[in-house]
């Protein structure tokens, strides 16, 4: 999953070296956290969210073939990971 998202995102942004992807989760569900340069966030989201919705649709399609539930989150600089906070609390 991580490689699939990484391929798509790196081909959309101007700064592919700044793309960071973190995969959090187990065998049945997964959260993919995406961090990009601030100037590239608009390219990832797209007009009215069309680009990010298309990426999420592709991701869910691939995940459902493997029997996994997946969620894609875009992290802003300095924002703590909600999934990481939850994992730390356990």
pLDDT tens track for 32-68: 999 999 999 999 999 999 999 999 999 999 999 988 9
The tens digit of pLDDT for each residue in 2-14 reads: 899 999 999 999 9
Res 77 pLDDT > 80 = no
Q: pLDDT value at position 25?
A: 83
What tokens does 4 get? Answer: 């699939």
Q: pLDDT value at position 26?
A: 76
Per the DSSP assignment, residues forming a β-bridge with 72 are 32
As a CATH number, domain 2-89 is 3.30.300.20
The tens digit of pLDDT for each residue in 30-39 reads: 999 999 999 9
At residue 28, φ and ψ (nearest 5 deg) are: -100, -30
Residues 6+ apart with CB under 8 A from 86: none
Q: pLDDT value at position 86?
A: 47
The reported pTM is 0.77
Q: pLDDT value at position 27?
A: 78
DSSP for residue 66: T
Sheet of 20-25, strands arranged across: 20-25, 29-35, 69-75
Closest listed residue to residue 10, CA positions, set 32, 38, 43, 33: 43
Per the DSSP assignment, residues forming a β-bridge with 23 are 32
């Amino acid at each position: 999953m991580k490689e699939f998202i990484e391929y798509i995102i790196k081909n959309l942004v101007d700064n592919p070296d700044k793309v960071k992807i973190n995969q959090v989760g187990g065998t049945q569900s997964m959260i993919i956290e995406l961090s990009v340069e601030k100037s590239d966030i608009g390219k990832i989201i797209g007009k009215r969210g069309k680009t990010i919705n298309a990426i999420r649709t592709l991701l869910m399609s691939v995940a459902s073939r493997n029997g996994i539930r997946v969620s894609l989150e875009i992290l802003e600089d300095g924002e703590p990971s909600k999934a990481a906070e939850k994992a730390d609390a356990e």
